[in-house]
Structures are given as C-alpha cells and as structure tokens.
Amino acid sequence: MLKTLDFPSGITEEALDRWGAVVQRDWGKAVALNVWAPSRVGDREFERWWARLLRQGTSPSGAISLMDLYREMDVRAILPTIDVPTLVLHRGADTMVPAAQGCYLAESIPGALYLELPGGDHLPFTGDVDGLLDEVEEFLVGSRGARESERALATILFTDIVGSTAKAAELGDRDWRALLERHDAAVRRQLTLHRGREVKTMGDGFLATFDGPARAIRCARAVQDEVAGLGIEVRAGIHTGEVELIGDDVGGMAVNIGARIGALADPGEVLVSSTVRELVVGSGLEFEERGVEKLKGAPGEWRLFAIDAPPA
C-alpha cells in the first residue's frame, strides 16, 4: 500500500520508481536478493536459483507492471470485515515490507494475533524457517509437536552447466532449449547407468542421490565426458551424509553441504568432501587436495578434494 497521510508506513512513489530502475538494470541477475533474503546473499546456488525464478516468472516489463499495480492496491477498507482467526507473522528487520505494516494488519483485523520474528528475510522459506513453522503449528493445533523427519544415508550429487546464462544469450531461446534437452538426456542416461536417482532439475543442473559415493563420482565424470561433445562444461559437487526424505525431495544439512561444494567446483571439475574421499578408499579413485573451506551454513571447516584422474 502506498504511503498516505493516514498511512505513514506505506511505500512511497519514489521507492517504487527506484525499484523499477533496479529491475530495468539488473533483470537476469539475482535482483534485490539483499532485500528479499539477506541471509542468502553470497550463497551462489541460491542466487542462481533466484535469478532463474525471476526470469522464468515474468519479463522486466511484467515486473514493472506488477509494481505499477501496487500503486493502486489498498485493502485497508476490508480488513475489519475479516471474521476468522488470523495470525500475522512478520520479521522485525524486514526491509522489503516494514514491520509497521504487519502491526497495522493485526490491529485492523478483529482478534488478530501479531507475532514479530527475528531476522530480516522477507521470503518465508529462508531465514529461520523452523521458528516460523513452530508459530504456525501452535496457532493451528495449539502445540509445537516434535517433528520426526524420515532420514537416510545417501550420497548427494549436484551438477551445474558452467556459464549457462552467457551460453543461453549466445544461442537464443530455441537453440538453448534444444541444447538443454540434450544435456538433460545425457545426465539422465548416466544416472540410469550408474544407479542414481534424479531428485530434481534446477534449470541448468541436477540434484541426484546414490547409494554409494564411488558410483556418484563415476557418474559425474561420465556426464562431463558426454556433454563435452555438446560444447558445454559441467561442474559437480558430491557429499555423503544423512538426508531428510521429504516426499520425492531431499533436504537437510548434507544437501546444503553438497550444494556449497558444487558451487566451489571449477569448470569440468568434480569436487568432493573429505567424507566422500574416506569412504572410497580402495576404489582406485585418485584425488587432489583443494584445501580447507568454510561452507556457509555448515559447522566447522571442510577439506575438499578434486578427482585427480578419470576413474577406471
């Protein structure tokens, strides 16, 4: 809602104009991630995902049209008519939408409960997600039950096409889509051959799991060899640990570590954690040490290794 004399916490016309200028300048990149989710700034995997989400969601002109629509939106008149139990959650340091607007909503909706959470992320699925879900659970069922997640040991493989944005711009939409389909087919072919399970694609990369790290390594190398004939390079990151099973998806610290390792890999490189290296002793695989890294969101420091020679 726009700032007015009777609503001083609203968004100003000048702020919307500045947003329009940012969209025009930076569309195609991780636009304004420092405002939407400051806790994920520097997370290269998330930044790439955020940029793809925006590009696939709309065009720059579409985003600006949406912001122009915000100038006309004003729901204040209907707030007092809401007669259902209402919970308003707002992170106190949110710079996208000030906490004062959350307070106003709760004050205007009869009987609404307002809870201010720590943090500055506007996106509900970043920052302290567990804390947010705890409040929702207590509001809906009256308690915070211990959520026992189903877990399993797995090897996680992340792959990513190097320079995909520049390649897409060079080829154009149609040719890029054709190349991406050939890449996807190659990855799926190698996953089948090496008994991997595709979890999901992420635009220009894959997340897959294996029941053993040696197969994940050999699969990653086979993918790199096959897609080299397409004129593209793939980086890969591998880690082994316990994952949370979320339907067909996986989550948890081990997945985050795998993603961080994949983001650090050089073009054409398979980078693995020390956990993976220790598990494949005797497999014939050779490694070259890549030093110690602090992985964002993961405790301690992690020794990383690159596959030194193609596996037999």
Residue 3 lies inside a defined structural domain of this protein: no
Residue 2 lies inside a defined structural domain of this protein: no
Mean pLDDT (whole number) for 8-31: 82
Residue 312 lies inside a defined structural domain of this protein: no
Judge if 190 and 96 occupy the same domain.
no
Judge if 104 and 202 occupy the same domain.
no
The whole-angstrom distance between residue 106's C-alpha and the CA centroid of its chain comes to 30
**Domain extent for 40:** 13-70
**DSSP structural state of residue 231:** T
Domain boundary, last residue among 141, 168, 188? 141
Which of 268, 278, 267 is CA-nearest to residue 304?
Answer: 278
List beta partners, residue 157: 208, 238
Residues 6+ apart with CB under 8 A from 302: 257, 261, 273, 274, 292, 293, 294, 295
Residue pLDDT, tens place only, 42-92? 998 999 999 999 888 888 888 888 878 878 888 888 999 999 999 999 999
Judge if 197 and 65 occupy the same domain.
no
**Mean pLDDT value across the chain:** 90
Which of 29, 22, 23, 25 is CA-nearest to residue 48?
Answer: 29
Q: Cite the DSSP H helix spans in 229-273.
A: 253-264
Judge if 301 and 260 occupy the same domain.
yes
List beta partners, residue 116: 90
How many H helices and E strands in the chain? 11, 10
Q: Which of 47-56, 133-142, 153-162 is the most confident on average?
A: 153-162
Query: What is the DSSP pairing of strand 197-201 with strand 234-246?
Result: unpaired
Q: Is the pTM of this model over 0.85?
A: no
Torsion of CA 88, 91, 94, 98, to 10 degrees: 40
Judge if 103 and 199 occupy the same domain.
no
Residue pLDDT, tens place only, 175-224? 999 999 999 999 999 999 999 999 999 878 999 999 999 999 999 999 99
Question: Residue 149: what pLDDT?
Answer: 66
* Gap between the Cα atoms of 152 and 92, Å rounded: 36
Judge if 233 and 293 occupy the same domain.
yes
Structurally, how many domains does the chain consist of?
3
Residue 96 lies inside a defined structural domain of this protein: yes
**DSSP structural state of residue 47:** H
Judge if 66 and 80 occupy the same domain.
no
Which of 278, 308, 275 is CA-nearest to residue 290?
Answer: 308
Domain boundary, last residue among 22, 39, 70? 70
* Gap between the Cα atoms of 44 and 25, Å rounded: 20
Residue 192 lies inside a defined structural domain of this protein: yes
Domain boundary, last residue among 25, 55, 70? 70
Judge if 222 and 168 occupy the same domain.
yes
Judge if 214 and 269 occupy the same domain.
yes
